[in-house]
A and B are shown apart, each in its own frame.
Chain A
């Protein structure tokens, strides 16, 4: 009898310990963030303030985060993955690394966010979107008596030789989106002819995607091919930058969010997911000068931000151009046929 009481007491104690462990785990959230640092911080702090759930944040680029989630698949450490371009989110969905979830917030979202989510079996969702374009330094353009460019094809004009920067598509997702956009816009053969022509005018292939427009802002470069919201950010900061949406149409990215499959804090992750899709939270992007178009229809946008409705967007094939085989093929072709040409 005594023995059974002792066993009982012990098992109660163990059970108590176990539940304590379990309850502890709904009070924190491991959050992988792939957007700009200050935006990531804002989201983490905002969620802590709104819910009291402790947030452990790790900021890494979307490619790195994807690699990490894949490596941890057997024993996931992360709960929710927010931000970063859509390709790796879609890839994670394809490989079953993320959890399907239909948020009650979906009815408030723009249609492009919903259709992107549906194409991935609801395993990811669009939180913001940004169109590709370019920006130029108005003062330098005037000083060098250059015409104002309006289209992609304008950039091929010989008078722009040495005045244009773009990132190297091997190292930057932005530049890869540029390459894929041009190929979809003009067809593969003519697209590569375009890239070869552009190559003659490029003064520097930068490493990071937004570097060309930052150099233009400081007057170290004239035209930078970047995401338009990055150009807007420089203009709003007071630099003489004009933003251009190319007349032929352009490609875009959808910044996404996914819940990691087997998340230890699934409840908290869902809470974060719903919270991140609210108009209030998305409106706060302006505080950190993130001028992307947000997925919630009623999220505030800056008057300076590019209006996606007025831009001619191509029907960007995320599935095809996001696949690693196609990516590898295009990059190799660019390396072999474009990069080796003399400038």
Chain B
């Protein structure tokens, strides 16, 4: 409000007509959506223009809403036209006129509300809500999911609301800021909260569609979830306990190992700390189940190590690796680098001057470590533990290949849906249990660690080097680090080796057959033929990842901008909502997406769009964090200078903040690109014959016993992603250099 009061009348007029222009623009978009584009979803896909040739605009499947109404069908769409026309009555008015804001709000809320209401009320089988059926009798008509037309109209109504709210003075009356908030809230609502809530509802429903808390309780209190048979007899425990035990063990082990490496990197005089840091990208670029496969090839019943030991010591080999031990080894290998990444910051953050002070007071190295260094590291350790716990709980690939009889929640959810039981209610219940665990850990991390101050930063310059490790810690730490490093190296060598042998363990001759099978090319007179079986899924994966990555980064940065630079009511809830998906395991996202988007009003299953959307919303928190971190380093006076010179929030964001955030943007883009290429847990529910992803294809090969091709494909993926990360490094280096030379 304040800035409008101080603006000159000319400025005000300009701002007013700008608002009117924006309103007009969105109204035109809404009208196009209502009268020109097909109202319902096209079964041939988003990019198919089949409808243009056949029967448009009269054929009901392809007709725009206005043509449907003109043919006297789908009359429940008529109120939308009224809400769409309403804003024209105030188009000439100034934005400070209370009528202007009121009309826009009525039009937007009414239109969007009615659009959603009719979408949920009327589905493929007529009335969806029993009460309407009893009120009006059978409908005798039906409708599919919303299509392009509906999408544009919904956007139009949404921005009527935000412009109306801005006109009433929300967030200093800045249309860009209010619209951004409205947009982020709307899409997070649709693509995170709506599916999750829908899944909760599914857990309460039986197969006949009757809702009851008893159905939930019956499924929830199942022996297969909470049974404790393993304590008393030789039978398996419930999946919930299995997952919990695994998560705790993996969290503790990765934290311990991560700490070991962090100590080696900072306090041992070890010169290759940079190399250790470089290795932390490994788990990010490794397809999730590859380590599991390598472990089978090494430690399985017929694995190389097992056979060697069995022959050397004359022991009968066993299947010990299938189950808890195998999953745990694979996950610890995969997630230790994440713990290292967290802990190296913590270990470095412990102020050397405090340790020096302790030593000056005549404490020996061990006492210093015990009384100063260790207590300061504790919150970091808790943080690393919770991260490991969440990652382990959410992991799907390793339990899938190594699980044996040790069932965990993430795989049980999958098999409740795809197996012969086909019990969506059970999948939903299991997903709720899993979600409770991960959200619990997420809350614990934020609440309990967020409050206490362990800051060792005194505000004064902190010179000095970290003291070396005390001797009684030194050797155990070195030994553990050496053994584990050796194991990691062997595993990755094995992955490569496994891709160039014919059949591991049976025919050990070297061959490039698997690479040729997967990525073969053939020259014919018709030109290049992509004969390899992997090309299809490979290109789809690249394409989907390349579409999802910039969108993820953009959404993350806009959200970060709102969080760092703007003040508005409900900001805490807004932040929580946008970060929430970090704690939602992929299998839960997958299940909730197929439950929510398989039926109108939003029909997305089987499309490429559902994959893109699932990536955007799973990886969004990372984009937000990257944005928040680097935006916090940009002084607010830059924005203020821009605003004082008369720019609005959008101009400031575009020409001041975005250029300065280039490294953060690049990091977010590459990270989401790589994550989209290695994701499996959500993807496996969402792929279709037309849009198959690399990881889902690889899992299919593994199920087909075709380990050679699976590992060869994974190796190619590892190198592709390595290249992506390398290019990013170069770009960031270049951009920081240009910035230096500019200044």
Binding site for B on A (CB under 8 A): 14, 17-18, 20-21, 24, 37, 40-41, 56-59, 61, 63-64, 67, 71-72, 74-75, 77, 140, 144, 162, 169-173, 176, 203-205, 207-208, 210-211, 214, 217-221, 234, 237-240, 339-343
Contacts and interface: CB of A to CB of B under 8 A. Distances in A.
Nearest to A173: B420
A151 B40 CA distance: 58
25 contacts: A20-B53, A41-B689, A58-B688, A58-B689, A63-B422, A64-B418, A74-B142, A75-B124, A75-B125, A77-B43, A140-B302, A162-B319, A171-B420, A171-B421, A204-B404, A207-B415, A214-B704, A217-B705, A218-B707, A219-B300, A220-B301, A220-B319, A221-B301, A339-B235, A342-B235
Contacts of B420: 61, 63, 169-173, 176
Contacts of B454: none
A37 B700 contact: yes
Nearest to B234: A342
B463 interface: no
Given A58-B689, A237-B705, A204 B405 contact: yes
B700 A21 contact: no
Contact of A64 (B54, B124, B422): B422
A211 B58 contact: no
Contact of B59 (A17, A59, A217, A239): A17
A67 B422 contact: yes
Interface in B105-164: 124-126, 142
A17 B43 CA distance: 19
B506 interface: yes
A340 to B, nearest CB: 6
Given A74-B124, A171-B419, A342-B235, A58 B705 contact: no
Contact of B229 (A64, A217, A340): A340
Contacts of B411: 207
B503 interface: yes
Contacts of A17: 55-56, 58-59
Given A40-B689, A172-B420, A220-B300, A342 B319 contact: no
B297 to A, nearest CB: 9
Given A18-B55, A214-B703, A220-B296, A171 B689 contact: no
B24 to A, nearest CB: 33
Interface of B: 43-44, 50, 53-56, 58-59, 124-126, 142, 229, 233-235, 296, 300-302, 316, 319, 322, 404-405, 411, 415, 418-422, 503, 505-507, 599, 606, 688-689, 700, 703-705, 707
A115 B303 CA distance: 48
Which 3 residue pairs are nearest across A and B when measured between Cβ atoms?
A219-B302, A171-B419, A21-B55
Contact of B505 (A41, A205, A218): A218
Choose among B125, B296, B422 the residue with the greatest number of A CB atoms under 10 Å from its CB.
Answer: B422
Contacts of B301: 219-221
A222 to B, nearest CB: 9
A56 B42 CA distance: 14
Nearest to B705: A214
Nearest to B302: A219
B419 A172 contact: yes
A217 B43 CA distance: 42
A58 B419 contact: no
A343 B419 contact: no
Contacts of A169: 420
Contacts of B506: 219, 238-240
Contacts of B689: 37, 40-41, 57-59
A343 B234 CA distance: 6
B207 to A, nearest CB: 10
B409 to A, nearest CB: 14
Given A220-B300, A340-B229, A204 B125 contact: no
A334 B233 CA distance: 18
Nearest to B688: A58
A309 B421 CA distance: 32
B319 A203 contact: yes
A210 B418 CA distance: 15
Given A17-B58, A204-B322, A170 B688 contact: no
A259 B473 CA distance: 72
B71 to A, nearest CB: 10
A208 B405 CA distance: 13
B503 A238 contact: yes
A61 B419 CA distance: 8
B82 to A, nearest CB: 27
B203 to A, nearest CB: 18
A333 to B, nearest CB: 15
A75 B302 contact: no
A71 B207 CA distance: 12
B138 to A, nearest CB: 12
B606 A58 contact: yes
Contacts of B419: 63, 170-172, 207
A20 B58 CA distance: 11
A219 B421 contact: no
A211 B703 contact: yes
Choose among B233, B507, B705 the residue with the greatest number of A CB atoms under 10 Å from its CB.
Answer: B705
A176 B419 CA distance: 11
A208 B296 CA distance: 18
Contact of B705 (A171, A205, A218): A218
Given A24-B55, A74-B124, A77-B43, 7 more contacts: A17-B59, A21-B59, A58-B689, A67-B422, A204-B319, A214-B703, A240-B506
Given A40-B689, A64-B422, A218-B505, A74 B125 contact: yes
A257 B705 CA distance: 27
Contacts of A162: 319
B191 to A, nearest CB: 22
Contacts of A20: 53-55
A332 to B, nearest CB: 12
Contact of B405 (A58, A71, A205): A205
A75 B55 contact: no
Contacts of B505: 218-219
Nearest to B45: A56
A221 B703 CA distance: 15
Given A74-B125, A214-B705, A219-B302, A18 B59 contact: yes
A210 B322 CA distance: 18
A326 to B, nearest CB: 14
